A and B are shown apart, each in its own frame.
Chain A
Amino acid sequence: MLNQSVRDRITAVSFHGTARLDPRIKMIILIVLGCVSFLINGDIPELILMSAVTVFVCAGSDPGWGIRMLFFYILISYLNTCLKYITVPGISLLMGIFGVTIIKAIPIVTMGRWVIRSTYMDELMVALQRAKMPLTVIIPFVVMFRYIPTLGIEYKMIRNTMKIRGVSDNVFKVLLHPFATIEYILIPLLMRCLKVSDELAASGTTRGMERENKRYCLLNTGFGLCEYITAAGLILFVVIIFMLNRSSIGQYALWRQL
């Protein structure tokens, strides 16, 4: 009885819904929607794209994140429209470009973080291997995935020591020496990165990371019916978005009444 519960806990699934899709289809969606985001320019199609990403993320164990990013998107989109009505030579154009880039990036960031947080690392490894990728590509990829969540922790540690040293410790100093500030953050970060990746590689090697054999993961996964349906849905969605973008709906500007 007790052992049964240990077994159950080992095979427990903490992600549900769309998060249980094969990592390969998640990556495909991320790449395709990323490209779509930069290829369309209508306000309405962009909003539909962002809403679709939100729905997809909400259906995959992370509703808080999806909804937060949707609100953020609407806010930025609104502010960006306001900018059109204020003309300061030079700055307006610069801010406009900046705003558009952020708007394009939001769906990608929303989807990207969700992929990282909702994918079991062993499944990612196995999925990439099944996609016939060589180990020399998979290993750095997995290390990167694993390293991203620690960046925040490392950044905080570095900022704390900067405060103690009196280096770029307030907004004024940061604005006065932006490049020096970036340097002071990046150097320790890179040093840590080098050290950690070296130790990680040694640790992985002694646990057989470089073995070329076929791998199996803890939970059953694979490219099945759900994945094919999702892929079909993705194609349909992309076609609709492009059609909308070319139709009169694509020309409609949001917040027009401003």
Chain B
Amino acid sequence: MIRFKDFSFCYEGNTEDALKNINLEIKDGEFILLTGRSGCGKTTVLRSLNGLIPHFYPGKTTGELLYEDRSLLEMKPEEMAGKVGTVFQDPRSQFFMTDTTRELAFGCVNMGYEREEIIDRVEKTVTDLKLTEYLNRSIFALSSGEKQQIAIGSVYALAPRVFIFDEPSANLDHEATKRLAGIMQKLKEDGYTIIVADHRFYYLRDLIDTAVYIENGQIDAEYSRGEFCGLGEEERIKKGLRSVFPEKEVGIIRRKTTDSGLGKVRKTLRVDNLSFGYDKKKKVLDKLSFEAESGDVIGITGHNGAGKTTLISVLTGILKEKEGKVYYDGKKVSPAKRRRLSYLVMQDADYQLFTSSVEEELTLGIKKVNRMLVDSTLERLVLSEYRDRHPAALSEGQKQRVTIGASIIKKSEILYFDEPTSGLDYDSMIRVSGLIKELSDNGAIIFIVSHDDEFIAHTCTKKLDLDTIKQRND
């Protein structure tokens, strides 16, 4: 059992407490969901549980935090290693080894188990979690979902009693999320205590015992599964929570604003029999044809490996098509021309920030800078007060807005968004959705790659499902 008694924590160098008077009891075998807006303190709760607070992230603690009647705060992270296991948000940055088998054994090696025991534990993990097919693979050749399964396995091999998951679904597609839920179900049946912090929780709705809603570092409410799933729409939106049943929104698309691009010339992007393959044997895109015009917001969907990212790479001109043609405004456009027309907002904003201030970032690569436009864009994106800040010092949501801002200044006519809502709470999701609508109303053509049904329903006016297209072609 884990017990928080009037527990508060303040990160070193901060003045405000990140957690305030937390009182919470977690029973053995309980499945707990921590939820709330970005920055509400969910992650801080998790860090207190796995020993990273106060040893790895120093700061001031008050109150008590007990693990089976021992103070957790006095236990070092390395002591906690066999007791509490943590699966972190980004599966890409949790690997020390370069191959899967050794990654599964990593924790056991650190614990100082002898060779036979390490092999026994890895064997049990592989059998229990059905990971046989992933053995002896290079870590770099795995998809996000596969990486996460290995990360879970690596923790499982240590046989902790408590499992902690920090935003586990942020980087996963539907299939991988379903598999994740399956693994969690098994862990729950085997009696593990599970604590998950996530914005998207539809996949957990049959597993949750208690949902804890945190606001400003305090526990605002505790719900049972029934209460939580039955929250009214209005209440849910007020709390900034994502939908529990996003599948109800599948197939719903937004009606296009009728007067979009008013007074402007409508331009059409036409893709004609587009094919692409990384090698001669297998085509990732096969004779794809579609049309889009100014004001369209097109959601590109499909399973992992269906070619979503490849499609936007070809359309943006990063990759050159093998066959087929792309027309814009009636003229054929080459990859180099498409690069000038397009802008891509990547999932990871860090790859896109090159300079030392927000303002410089917005005007990078522009020859004649229109000051008025820069000012109004900063205003529009609520970034005015950050114009001289270093982009790296911004929050993820702000970084994303900076990259969107650069597209406005570049006056890109075709925009591409790759998974813009991964790890975003309801409010940020609605904000991004609103921004995209605004851009499309101003006459841009927008493509969005996303697994997020709720977001697609709010934002897109058309859907391009690569799976159905493939089936039709076959």
Which residues of A does B touch, CB under 8 Å? 3, 6-7, 9-12, 14, 120-122, 125-126, 142-143, 146, 149-150, 153-154, 157-158, 160-167, 169, 183-184, 187-188, 191-192, 195-196, 199-211, 213-218, 220
A218 cross-chain contacts in B, Cβ below 8 A: 101-102, 105, 109, 115, 118-119, 122
Q: How far is the CA of A209 from the CA of B355 in the complex (A)?
A: 35
Closest to A201 in B: B56
Q: A7-B119, A216-B109 are in contact. List 8 more A-B contacts (CB 8 A).
A: A162-B354, A164-B342, A166-B340, A199-B90, A203-B86, A213-B111, A216-B115, A217-B118
Given known A10-B119, A213-B112, contact A161–B97 (CB-CB < 8 A): no
Q: How far is the CA of A122 from the CA of B340 in the complex (A)?
A: 47
> Pick the contact of B97 from A146, A169, A184 — CB < 8 Å?
A146
- A-contact bits for B99-114, CB 8 A (1 contact / 0 none): 1011001110111111
Most central of A6, A10, A157, A220 by chain B CB within 10 Å: A10
> Pick the contact of A220 from B55, B76, B115 — CB < 8 Å?
B115
For residue A90, give the distance in angstroms from its CB to the closest CB of chain B. 34
B118 cross-chain contacts in A, Cβ below 8 A: 216-218
Given known A146-B96, A158-B351, contact A163–B318 (CB-CB < 8 A): yes
Given known A203-B86, A215-B112, contact A6–B350 (CB-CB < 8 A): no
Decide if A120 touches B111 in the complex (CB within 8 Å).
no
Given known A165-B406, A207-B110, contact A146–B126 (CB-CB < 8 A): no
Decide if A122 touches B105 in the complex (CB within 8 Å).
yes
Most central of A3, A9, A122, A207 by chain B CB within 10 Å: A207
Q: How far is the CA of A161 from the CA of B109 in the complex (A)?
A: 39
A196 cross-chain contacts in B, Cβ below 8 A: 92-93
B306 at the interface (CB under 8 A from A): no
Decide if A211 touches B352 in the complex (CB within 8 Å).
no
B95 at the interface (CB under 8 A from A): yes
Closest to A204 in B: B96
> Pick the contact of A164 from B343, B350, B355 — CB < 8 Å?
B343
> Pick the contact of B365 from A165, A200, A209 — CB < 8 Å?
A165
11 contacts between A and B (CB under 8 A): A120-B99, A142-B96, A160-B313, A161-B346, A188-B350, A191-B353, A195-B93, A199-B94, A203-B88, A206-B50, A216-B112
Decide if A200 touches B353 in the complex (CB within 8 Å).
no
For residue A152, give the distance in angstroms from its CB to the closest CB of chain B. 9
For residue A87, give the distance in angstroms from its CB to the closest CB of chain B. 41
A125 cross-chain contacts in B, Cβ below 8 A: 109
Given known A3-B127, A9-B136, A164-B343, contact A216–B154 (CB-CB < 8 A): no
Decide if A210 touches B102 in the complex (CB within 8 Å).
no
B81 at the interface (CB under 8 A from A): yes
Decide if B102 touches A207 in the complex (CB within 8 Å).
no
Decide if B77 touches A205 in the complex (CB within 8 Å).
yes
Closest to B92 in A: A196
- A-contact bits for B19-61, CB 8 A (1 contact / 0 none): 0000000000000000000000000000000111001100000
A142 cross-chain contacts in B, Cβ below 8 A: 96
Closest to A193 in B: B350
Total A-B Cβ pairs within 8 A: 187
Closest to B107 in A: A207
Decide if A200 touches B339 in the complex (CB within 8 Å).
no
For residue A3, give the distance in angstroms from its CB to the closest CB of chain B. 7
Q: How far is the CA of A146 from the CA of B136 in the complex (A)?
A: 16
B450 at the interface (CB under 8 A from A): no
B80 at the interface (CB under 8 A from A): yes
Q: How far is the CA of A121 from the CA of B100 in the complex (A)?
A: 11
> Pick the contact of B352 from A6, A14, A188, A199 — CB < 8 Å?
A188
Decide if B109 touches A215 in the complex (CB within 8 Å).
yes
Q: How far is the CA of A12 from the CA of B111 in the complex (A)?
A: 22
Q: How far is the CA of A68 from the CA of B240 in the complex (A)?
A: 58
B290 at the interface (CB under 8 A from A): no
A216 cross-chain contacts in B, Cβ below 8 A: 109, 112-115, 118
Query: Which residues from 308 to 355 on chain B have a C-beta closer than 8 Å to any C-beta of chain A?
Result: 313, 316-318, 339-340, 342-344, 346, 348, 350-355
B51 cross-chain contacts in A, Cβ below 8 A: 205-206
Query: Which residues from 187 to 202 on chain B have a C-beta closer than 8 Å to any C-beta of chain A?
Result: none
A7 cross-chain contacts in B, Cβ below 8 A: 119, 123
For residue A218, give the distance in angstroms from its CB to the closest CB of chain B. 5
B158 at the interface (CB under 8 A from A): yes
Decide if B353 touches A215 in the complex (CB within 8 Å).
no
Given known A150-B140, A161-B344, contact A192–B112 (CB-CB < 8 A): no
Q: How far is the CA of A207 from the CA of B55 in the complex (A)?
A: 14
Closest to A183 in B: B354
Q: How far is the CA of A195 from the CA of B406 in the complex (A)?
A: 23
B82 at the interface (CB under 8 A from A): yes
Given known A10-B119, A149-B140, contact A208–B101 (CB-CB < 8 A): no
B66 cross-chain contacts in A, Cβ below 8 A: none
For residue B98, give the distance in angstroms from its CB to the closest CB of chain A. 6
Given known A206-B50, A206-B80, A206-B81, contact A10–B101 (CB-CB < 8 A): yes
B107 cross-chain contacts in A, Cβ below 8 A: 207-208
> Pick the contact of B339 from A126, A166, A202 — CB < 8 Å?
A166
A167 cross-chain contacts in B, Cβ below 8 A: 354, 364-365
> Pick the contact of B110 from A120, A187, A211 — CB < 8 Å?
A211
The 4 closest A-B pairs by CB, nearest first: A208-B81, A213-B112, A208-B110, A207-B107
B84 cross-chain contacts in A, Cβ below 8 A: 206
Q: How far is the CA of A14 from the CA of B119 in the complex (A)?
A: 17
> Pick the contact of B127 from A6, A11, A158 — CB < 8 Å?
A6
Closest to A160 in B: B318
Decide if A12 touches B96 in the complex (CB within 8 Å).
no
